[in-house]
A and B are shown apart, each in its own frame.
Chain A
Amino acid sequence: MTDSRKPQGAVASDLVRRAEEAGQDYEVGLESLSQMQLAWRKFKGHRLALLGLTILGILIGVAVLGPLLLPYNFATIPLPDKIVYEGRPPSAEHFFGETGGLQRDVFRLVVNGARTSLFIGFSSMFIGVVIGTIVGSIAGFVGGFVDNFLMRIVDVMLSLPVLFVILVASRFFGNGNVILIVVIFGLFSWMGISRLVRSQFLSIREREFVEAARAVGVTDRRIIFRHILPNAFSPIVVSSSLIVAGNIIGEAFVSFLGFGVNPTTPTWGNILSNALTFIPLGNWWWPLFPGMAIILTVLAVNFIGDGLRDAFDPRSRA
């Protein structure tokens, strides 16, 4: 006598046997694609997103390996044989040119800057996402007074002119330290995520599968981590790509004004900050390349964000 629920056929029965041996549920008949696989399939069809991923990959490669491959360590720049105050335009030897003043190789500055700028962009995003997810989960799951209180804090934070506040905070607490700047940016980039996560919680909390899980006696912790948060994954990923882009520009802005990272650690922003004083000499190559690096990174991240949004959207088909 066979169980009618058991899938038929050789392959299927093999699966069933293996599942039974492992003591698992055996309702596996068809191998279906997971949500991630579906999303990846759609993402691959998005040409701009793939381009963005390639560019970002190269930039991260440059940031990680670049400083190691360059002939000079950043700290031990050889003194130029002859100082040209206004710098030197791009040449075969220094293909991004040389800066005015200290006569530094712009290419080396940009490569070293990639390390700091990308590090700040991604790790501050990470801090923001963690805080935002925690706050949003608490607000959405607990509800009531706690929810109201947390969301009013979010309202206040969103009403602050964030760049103003970051500027002041960087000046007062940053001390030009990369880690502190990352923390400051992280502390001001969680509000959007927390609203997103909260709204996901509010809608998913009432769905049947959560009710079923609760009826079976699943603990709150498991409901949060297994049933609700995975569903909130895709909007979080999409909006975190926007945060990375925003924070890279934001850091450049703050460092440009001289309140961000110390000039001894190059970032794309503080390279530009030094360039501003040399404007009358007309050395365009100095600000051009770090600016292009920022634009390229932000473009790549935005393309990836677009691709992810389409890939996770169940209404769009690949």
Chain B
Amino acid sequence: MTKYIIRRMIQAIPVLFGITIVVYGILLAAPGGPTAKFNQNPRITEEIKEKFKKAWGLDQPIPVQYCRWMGFCNPENVGLQVFIGETGWPNFLPTPISGATNGVLHGDFGFSISSGELVNTRIVRAALPTLILAGVALFVWLVVAILMGVYAAIHRYSLFDQAATVFAYVGFAMPTFWLGIMLIFLFSGPGLNILPAGGMTETRLSPPFGSDEYWVYFGQKPLEALSDVGWHLILPVFTLVVVNIAGDSRFVRASMLEALNQDYVRTAKAKGLPGRTVTFKHALRNAMLPVVTNIGLEIPFLFTGAIVTETIFSWPGIGRLTIAATNQFDYPVLMGVLLISATLVVLANLLADVAYAVIDPRIKF
């Protein structure tokens, strides 16, 4: 088991490495480059552009730039010494050993071109709203999908089951953002103005989320602050989970039906156990095995789905950060976001495999 986990982790390393190359390559190939934003500015001459490039190390050969961005190289040294960190150990080793703090390998994504802040600061600031949104969405998604799937499987071909099938087909074909727009029309349009159309907090009542004043306000009136955020969460969460619920409720149903047809369920029923015990203890637990893996693989896509949901509902998270960075050609931020979300996908794959091995004792390595 441990051996299997270690092997999978080692296999993930070249994939992650490949991802950094692809991400770096895409942004490198982008037309214009980091100086493109100066093109409209008549005061910036070619000379100043050259100075800018020199200051940011953009005049170096591409492998050197990549090496520095990754943190393999120590920009202080020259010649073969570049690979050596301050303590004499190779620069790519963790900070306590090599003393190096630069580059992705040491958790440093550089500076945002558009705002001048650290990329880490911007990502951390945007991460909390996204985690709140994705966390609540995940919870709702799991509970509803499992309940719907199990109920539909137990009452197979009932009216509920058929309605759930139609919902699954339509929900799966529905673009998330379209659902978001229609929900805003329905619940916050001129007709039925009952839910907030966007934002994370009521701007008239509280300071912007994440600012220092907000946390002071939060400390004074925690209940009001929570209910305010909760109120703003309803539409985005609903938008985010419908597609996932549509797909997974079918998956749970199929898995549950298969479990209900197993011999051990028949045996348990024949022994005279109450139906509820058989359904929830014998069938459900076994039916959850494939579901766990499937959901593990889908979790990273909550973040992709969040891009558009956050745009529609002006939710100040990673998705909005990505859109803003794309618009402003903010390469360091984009590379950070892309790399972190790709790492999440790799980790989720790894966890899904390991979880499957842990919960299913039939799997041997």
Contact = CB atoms under 8 A, between A and B. Distances in A.
Interface residues of B, number: 51
B185 interface: yes
A280 B189 CA distance: 6
A279 B31 contact: no
A168 B338 contact: yes
B165 to A, nearest CB: 11
A165 B327 CA distance: 14
A16 to B, nearest CB: 51
Contacts of A163: 304, 307
A257 interface: yes
Q: Is the interface of B mostly helix, strand, loop or mixed?
A: helix
A160 to B, nearest CB: 5
B243 to A, nearest CB: 9
A51 to B, nearest CB: 12
A159 B349 contact: yes
A152 B174 contact: no
Contacts of B185: 279, 282, 284, 287
B178 A161 contact: no
Interface stretch (B18-26, B77-85, B136-144, B228-236): B18-26
B182 interface: yes
Given A249-B175, A279-B185, A281-B190, A164 B341 contact: yes
A302 B169 contact: yes
Given A155-B15, A294-B178, A253 B341 contact: no
Contacts of A272: 177-178, 181
A105 to B, nearest CB: 20
Interface stretch (A127-135, A169-177, A221-229): A169-177
A253 B312 CA distance: 12
Contacts of A159: 15-16, 19, 342, 345-346, 349
B178 A287 contact: yes
B338 A161 contact: yes
Interface of B: 14-16, 18-19, 22-23, 26-27, 29-31, 169-170, 172-178, 181-182, 184-185, 188-191, 197, 300-301, 303-304, 307-308, 311-312, 322-323, 326-327, 329, 334, 337-338, 341-342, 345-346, 349
Closest 5 pairs (CB-CB, A-B) = A156-B18, A298-B173, A291-B178, A172-B30, A282-B190
Interface of A: 152-153, 155-165, 167-169, 171-173, 245, 249, 252-253, 256-257, 259, 272, 275-276, 279-282, 284, 287-288, 290-291, 294-295, 298-299, 302
